[in-house]
A and B are shown apart, each in its own frame.
Chain A
Amino acid sequence: MSVFNDSVMLVMEDVSLSYAASKGSFDHGVHHVLNSMSFELFENETLGIIGRNGVGKTTMLRIMAGILAPTSGTVMTQPGKTSSLLSIGLGFKGDLSGRDNATLAAMLQGSSKKQADLFLDEIKEFSDLGESFEEPVKTYSAGMKSRLGFTTALMTHVDILLIDEVLSVGDAQFKEKAESAMKKRIGGDQTVVFVSHSATQIQELCDRAIWIDGGIIKSIGDTEVVLEHYRNSMKVEGSPQPKIQT
């Protein structure tokens, strides 16, 4: 495909997403989530997406992962590349044990049963779940769930890693361990799209950033510049200040 030179992994062109809201009166019942978004994702870069809650960050990731299709516009991924969306608690089933959930998650992301079984000990070890690994997930605390979710996510191998707020939970000790593992992963030959509402995390991890608001791209480019725009908008609007740690 002509749009792809070697270093472009994914192209979004004029992508919009809207749907008929079940009940409500947004625009005669049509809810616009994304509005005419265009950008490119380059190989081996870590692209940060920042914005307030409910502006379409997760929807954008879902479109990149092929879970949702845009209402209009095109999304092109370099042929043969896989992408996967990682977020806390990949669809955990409460009645199943941590082990079964991890197996299922690995298989859904393309591993065979045998490969999944090989990951399991690693997942058990890293997640520090101990014997709870064999217990049903419904008995887990929120922190335990996030540890299992993060670890399962970490073990998968894909060309484009789409990360949705995975670093925001867990106790301090695990968080540190998780962040360092994540940084190691991001630092290597891995293309990453990273969604967060924490400016600090974006600043630490990302080469480039996109700030979105109300379903449109407000600013794209160098992380520092984009974050500056994002912070300024908060001051100007006088909307409730999000907690930005600097």
Chain B
Amino acid sequence: MRLSQYFSLIDVQARMLLKADSSKFILGSLWWFLEPLLWVGVFYVVFNLILDSHRGGDFVVFLACGKFAFIWFSKTVNQASNSIVANRSLVSKINVPKTIFPMAAVQESLYRQAAVYLLLFFILVVFGHPITLTWLWLIPVWLVYYLIIVACSFIGAYLVCMVRDFSKFIPLGMTFLLFTSGIFWDIRDIGNPQKTELLLALNPIAFMVDAHRQILMKATPPDAMHLVLLGVGATVLIIVMVGLMRKKSQYLALKVLSS
């Protein structure tokens, strides 16, 4: 398959998924904005009103930055992991590169996430955060984050295809990451700088969430070296996974068909 054909297939599939998804709900594509907002609402009620942290408006921005960034990763990897198995009927009828299915899911969420970021910028402006040049740092952050998401999507899709039982671990893993990435608490508030460093080093999602907050709320650029290393790591993983999925393409099909 030519590369142009590959990408146009991903794009067409992603657009169709979006169209199909929004046609299912009365509120349609409004859900793109509503869902992340409701999440922020839930966290605000639990952590600010019930647990009394009294942080007011700033806490809303803090939550929005964290959750909106996290939702990109969690939604995509969740959906992409089941994508090959979910496309069983196609997999049984045509020999296409298996990476097409997770990539279509990645592309679909990319479009959704664009709307989510617009909403995030809106919230930031409404709560009085100035738009600064530092915001341009978002571009490399997004790029690296995207590579991490693609790598994890491939790994998830591959594992679920090989051993269906992995699909049980993915929501669990997402919840674990939600708690350990500092979505509703600040990773810099731990009190032990070494622990903070360790968490940021071990958990790329925590680093990404923190980078969003540093850039948007504090006008501070992220650690460029850390960003480069993550980018390189993710790229290597992507190359390995593409090679593996290409080599095992027919075995993956057999796995999908026989389990």
Contact = CB atoms under 8 A, between A and B. Distances in A.
A226 interface: no
B92 A62 contact: yes
Contacts of A96: 16, 19-20
Contacts of A170: none
A108 B258 contact: no
A92 interface: yes
Interface string B87-125: 101111111100000000000000000000000000000
Given A69-B251, A96-B16, A100-B19, A108 B90 contact: yes
Contact of B23 (A19, A93, A95): A95
A87 interface: yes
A26 B134 CA distance: 64
A22 B258 contact: yes
A44 B253 CA distance: 29
Interface string A99-124: 01001100111101100000000000
A103 to B, nearest CB: 7
A93 B12 CA distance: 13
A91 interface: yes
A186 B90 CA distance: 24
Interface centre among A67, A92, A95, A103 (most CB of B within 10 A): A67
Interface string B1-29: 10001001100110010011101100000
Contacts of A112: 5, 8
B5 A104 contact: no
Contacts of A103: 12
Contact of B253 (A68, A91, A100): A68
A105 to B, nearest CB: 9
Interface residues of B, number: 28
Contacts of B93: 67, 85, 87, 90-91
How many A residues are at the interface, by size bracket?
20 to 34
B20 A108 contact: no
A91 B87 contact: yes
Interface string A57-74: 000001001111100000
A16 interface: no
Interface in A187-240: none
B254 A19 contact: yes
A98 B116 CA distance: 30
A65 B91 CA distance: 12
Contacts of A109: 94
Contact of A136 (B20, B89, B96, B259): B20
27 contacts: A22-B259, A62-B92, A65-B95, A66-B250, A67-B92, A67-B95, A67-B250, A67-B253, A68-B253, A68-B254, A69-B250, A69-B254, A90-B90, A91-B90, A91-B93, A93-B20, A95-B23, A95-B24, A96-B19, A100-B16, A100-B19, A100-B20, A104-B12, A107-B8, A107-B12, A110-B1, A136-B20
Given A85-B93, A87-B93, A90-B94, 9 more contacts: A62-B92, A62-B253, A68-B250, A91-B91, A95-B24, A96-B20, A100-B20, A108-B90, A113-B12
